[in-house]
């Protein structure tokens, strides 16, 4: 009697274990499907656009830091093509149209005829507007909306991060020195959009 009940309990435990393993496999498959659907949804919609806005504003934030208190020897001019490739279409089309042409025109006039009244901190934004206005459609339409533009952004982010770490005297210093955390966080945010966009393109 005791042996039969022991065998029955053993069988019940094995069945429960098999059911648990089966449920775990079902949950794993469902999680994978959910991740794939999320990536596909993000690749074509809201998530990618949202990350693009974050990346563009992170680059603008770093550009402002460079003009104010960052003051580094890093080639921060690379932020201009990065912003060019990541600027959301609404803003890009606005600056590529008449608004951008007028801003570029005024900037060129000020730079040519009133150089003393043209502040240094306007050099980079002026260059960005000029780049957006005069860029050939090969760059403004084709490469900008293709994986090539995303790959360029990823290369720029990698270069700026390793240069920032080197200029800070190591990885630890880049997070502990004055303004180090904000600068490093801004550079790390540059990875968000291109990494996600390349991932969704591959999948």
Helix H or strand E segment including 181 = helix 180-189
d(CA 184, CA 125): 22
Check if the beta carbon of residue 149 is closer than 8 Å to that of residue 28: no
Region of 71 on the Ramachandran plot (φ > 0 left; ψ -120 to 50 alpha; else beta): left
Higher pLDDT, 25 or 200: 200
Task: Supply the pLDDT for residue 175.
Answer: 65
d(CA 163, CA 180): 13
d(CA 190, CA 57): 9
For residue range 112-162, list pLDDT tens digits in order: 898 888 887 788 888 899 999 999 988 888 888 888 999 999 999 988 888
What average pLDDT does range 158-171 have in this prediction?
Answer: 79
What average pLDDT does range 2-22 have in this prediction?
Answer: 57
Q: How many CB atoms lie within 10 A of CB 49?
A: 15
For residue range 27-86, list pLDDT tens digits in order: 566 556 655 655 555 445 678 888 899 999 999 888 887 766 655 556 678 899 999 999
- According to DSSP, residue 191 is labeled T
For residue range 95-109, list pLDDT tens digits in order: 999 999 999 999 899
Helix H or strand E segment including 188 = helix 180-189
Task: Supply the pLDDT for residue 177.
Answer: 64
Task: Supply the pLDDT for residue 165.
Answer: 78
For residue range 172-196, list pLDDT tens digits in order: 766 666 556 777 788 888 888 898 8
Task: Supply the pLDDT for residue 62.
Answer: 85
d(CA 58, CA 36): 27
Q: Is residue 18 scored above 90 in pLDDT?
A: no
Task: Supply the pLDDT for residue 184.
Answer: 77
Task: Supply the pLDDT for residue 47.
Answer: 82
User: CB-based contacts of 200: which residues, under 8 Å, 6+ apart?
Assistant: 39, 40, 42, 43, 44, 48
Task: Supply the pLDDT for residue 41.
Answer: 53
d(CA 132, CA 80): 10
Chain-centre distance for alpha carbon 158: 11
């Amino acid at each position: 009697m005791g042996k039969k009940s022991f065998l029955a309990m053993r069988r019940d435990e094995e069945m429960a274990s098999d059911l648990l393993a089966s449920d775990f496999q079902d949950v794993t498959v469902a999680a994978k499907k959910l991740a794939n659907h999320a990536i596909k949804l993000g690749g074509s919609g809201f998530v990618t656009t949202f990350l693009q806005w974050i990346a563009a504003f992170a680059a603008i934030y770093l550009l402002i830091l460079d003009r104010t208190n960052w003051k580094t020897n890093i080639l921060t001019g690379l932020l201009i093509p990065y912003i060019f490739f990541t600027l959301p279409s609404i803003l890009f089309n606005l600056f590529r149209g008449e608004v951008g042409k007028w801003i570029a025109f005024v900037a060129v006039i000020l730079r040519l005829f009133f150089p003393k009244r043209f502040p240094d901190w306007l050099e980079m934004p002026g260059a960005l507007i000029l780049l957006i206005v005069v860029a050939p459609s090969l760059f403004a339409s084709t490469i900008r909306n293709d994986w090539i533009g995303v790959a360029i952004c990823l290369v720029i982010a990698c270069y700026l991060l390793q240069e920032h770490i080197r200029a800070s005297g190591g990885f630890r210093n880049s997070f502990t020195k004055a303004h180090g955390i904000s600068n490093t966080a801004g550079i790390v945010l540059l990875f968000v959009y291109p990494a996600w966009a390349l991932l969704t393109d591959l999948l």
